[in-house]
Amino acid sequence: MTTHRTRRHLGVVTLLLLVLAAALAPTPGSAADGNWWDPTARPAPDSGIGVTGEPFTGTGADGEVRGFVDAHNHVMSNEAFGGRLICGRAFSQKGIADALRDCPEHYPDGSLAVFDFITNGGDGRHDPAGWPTFRDWPAHDSLTHQQNYYAWIERAWRGGQRVMVNDLVTNGVICSVYFFKDRSCDEMTSIRLQAKLTYDLQAYIDGMYGGPGKGWFRVVTDSAQARDVVARGKLAVVLGVETSEPFGCKQILDVAQCDRADIDAGLDELYALGVRSMFLCHKFDNALCGVRFDSGALGTAINVGQFLSTGTFWRTGKCAGPQADNPIGLASAPAAERELPPGVEVPAYAEDARCNVRGLTELGEYAVRGMMKRNMMLEIDHMSVKATGRVLDLFEAESYPGVLSSHSWMDQNWTERVYALGGFTAQYMNGSEHFVTEARRTERLRDRYGAGYGYGTDMNGVGGWPAPRGADAPDAVTYPFRSVDGGSVLDRQTTGERTWDLNTDGAAHYGLVPDWIEDIRRVGGQDVVDDLFRGAESYLDTWGASEAHRAGVNLAEGAEATASSTEWNPFTSYAPGRAVDGDRGTRWAADWSDDQWLRVDLGGTHRVGRVTLDWERAYGSAYRVELSTDGTDWRTVWSTTAGDGGLDTAVFTPSPARHVRLRFLDRGTDWGYSLYEVGVHGR
């Protein structure tokens, strides 16, 4: 009986953990040369940094900040999932020996390192000793041990990184089933703790430099503050959130477990904590949006986990455009599938049905608009392509730039739309060859839109990191090497008795980020690294434009509207004015024939440069936008023959107009044309 129960519990843990794969206080001591970047009271003993030379400060000749941006990191995720899934801490008031030690259950030989066993194969056994030997961890393929010790982050900063997004992360379901935990599984409790500890880390580092505000680790809450931090040569730290059920917005049997009040309260609280970017869904479909699938056996396991958590499996359909979700998991995952109730099986999926049918829900759209209202940035990675398409439609309709793809989890066919909005993209911390290949693929778009590039290390994020290429690999990193700006020299990094070399150790911890960038330079050339060095400026451009955004006045709302026809219905009105009444619950509908029009009188002459059409299911596949100052002479300013419904935005050179006419030429369905709302804007 005991053996059976233990095996079953391990099966549940295996399933839900696979979802994720979604001694001293500081002592006085003056720096010998009084350099501003050297602490006056570093803990002793502590890690080496392995960098000499002054960090660059100021801005470039064009007034732009310089430096790399890590758009996706998890500094405090050891506090997530119950606090015992990822072992070790980013800092400790008791010193490095206390911070960099393994989880208690991993002693003496890793026999109970269940997560290590699941994610890294073998039997999970390892030498648990961290400080000072670090024989087995951190490592590029160990997903259970701390990679973000503060001194390793310090090395990345000294190597040229100037912006880091710290995504506060957790998963209440995984926490609830994991054997070992020492705190609540409530997601918001964990998010609050991680936010607090990020500020505590800032204070801890400040203490080494003489007091508040003097350290290099600066949590920032607006782009101007971030620019000032970077110009002073320090690291701007932005708070984000990546969790599966934000604001408690779980769905069970397709029924939302949250409402608009929960979303408003959640967004307000996160904003007050300093959070400025976030994901709305991750791994499991929730009440806000559908997710982009995982593939293979992992995908099958996550699909089973979704069923156990929500009562529904993923549902797929044919994709409406070139974008597609990841191939759904079709491989068997026996340990996971055994946890399904008797008679329940993972569905079979057609190979030509690659898209999650669940997109952005009504509550999800409310959350997106709430983020725009608060000038926050939205992460579209992990969203289904259906959800992402709607988000981009909403942002384009409002000319809102705050869209991020931080670690290679969106369909790459969205890239140009992201850049066109003024958004920012970063690539996952892949091996240098892969990273260079992908960077080259999107280089043309970055050049066209003047965008820099970023990376998302996802460290402490259970993803796996670049493996060693070998000391004899072509273009191996040669130590010591100079930083990209040329002002610092970096040698191999040493902590305790262990010295790491990217060539033979891979990207084992955060301190090897500069070494990895040097590897990219040697493999791919200076131009790839130059794009990365413009990353901080580009990210802050997106953030600043999001902050500056103000909702435009809809010149059409409440205006007089007429139409070529109106569908008759004895129970409700589909009059033309319903498309300009500011209520998405009403609509105008035309007769069921191709050639129709809807005309709006703005009541006076205005400069018009953007028109939005929020379609009901009956949409136009071919139509044009016409403007007139007198209602007699019309000029076409925009047209399409590829309309696909949803929310369309027509952008054109602003010009004077009192009258706007939409000329519908071809229908996209057997019905007529039907619009919830038409928006007319100056830009």
Model confidence over 241-261: pLDDT tens digits? Answer: 999 899 999 999 999 999 999
Q: For residue 2, what pLDDT band results from cuts at 50, 70 and 90?
A: very low
CA dist., res. 230 & res. 543, Å (int): 14
User: Would the pLDDT of 30 be above 70?
Assistant: no
Q: Higher confidence at residue 330 or residue 145?
A: 145
The proportion of the chain whose per-residue pLDDT surpasses 90, expressed as a percent, equals: 83
State both tokens at 194: 């991680």
Give pTM, 2 decimals. 0.92
Look at residue 113 in the predicted model and tell me its pLDDT: 81
> 69 vs 175, which has greater pLDDT?
69
Report which secondary-structure segment, H or E, holds 627: strand 620-628
Distance CA 405, CA 421 (A): 13
Exposure on the CB side of residue 424, measured as CA atoms within 13 A: 33
How distant is the alpha carbon of residue 588 from its chain centre?
37
Write the pLDDT tens digit of every residue in 590-634: 999 999 999 999 999 999 999 999 999 999 999 999 999 999 999
Q: How far apart are CA 274 and CA 134, in angstroms?
A: 34
- Residue ranges of the alpha helices (H) in 329-478? 334-337, 362-373, 385-398, 415-421, 432-441, 443-449
- Encoded amino acid at 479, one letter: Y
Percent of the chain at pLDDT exceeding 70: 94
* Contact residues for 65 (Cβ-Cβ < 8 A; gap 6+): 59, 162, 227, 230, 231, 536, 537, 540
Instruction: Decide: 417 and 321 in contact? Cβ < 8 Å.
Output: no
Query: Using an 8 Å Cβ cutoff, are 664 and 621 in contact?
Result: no
Q: How confident is the model at residue 395 (pLDDT cuts 50, 70, 90)?
A: very high
Structure tokens at 668: 């996209």
- Per-position DSSP letters for 568-622, written without gaps between them: --SSS---GGGGGSS-TT--EE--SSS-EEEEEEEEEEEEEEEEEEEE-SS-EEE
> Which DSSP letter does residue 631 get?
S
What is the pLDDT at residue 369?
97
Q: Classify residue 420 by burial, with Cβ atoms within 10 Å: 0-12, 13-18, 19+.
A: middle
Q: Beta strands 275-279 and 377-379: pairing type?
A: parallel
- pLDDT over 60 at 213, yes or no: yes
Tally of helices (H runs) and strands (E runs) in the chain:
19, 25
Average pLDDT over residues 634-638: 98
Helix (H), strand (E) at residue 656: strand 647-667
In sequence order, which residues have a C-beta less than 8 Å from that of residue 445 and are 6 or more positions away?
415, 416, 419, 451
Q: What's the start-to-end Cα distance of the chain, in Å? A: 70
Q: Torsions phi, psi of 551, nearest 5?
A: -60, 130
CA distance 661 to 601: 9
Q: How many CB atoms lie within 10 A of CB 25?
A: 12
| Arithmetic mean of pLDDT, 658-665 | 98
Check whether 206 has a pLDDT greater than 60.
Answer: yes
How many CA atoms lie within 13 Å of 354's alpha carbon, on the beta-carbon side?
13
Do residues 226 and 163 lie in contact, with contact meaning Cβ atoms separated by under 8 Å? yes
Torsion of CA 241, 283, 380, 235, to 10 degrees: 40
Q: What is the pLDDT of residue 13?
A: 46
Q: How confident is the model at residue 25 (pLDDT cuts 50, 70, 90)?
A: very low
Model pLDDT, residue 6: 38
Surface-to-core class of residue 214, CB atoms within 10 Å of its CB (0-12 exposed, 13-18 middle, 19+ buried): middle
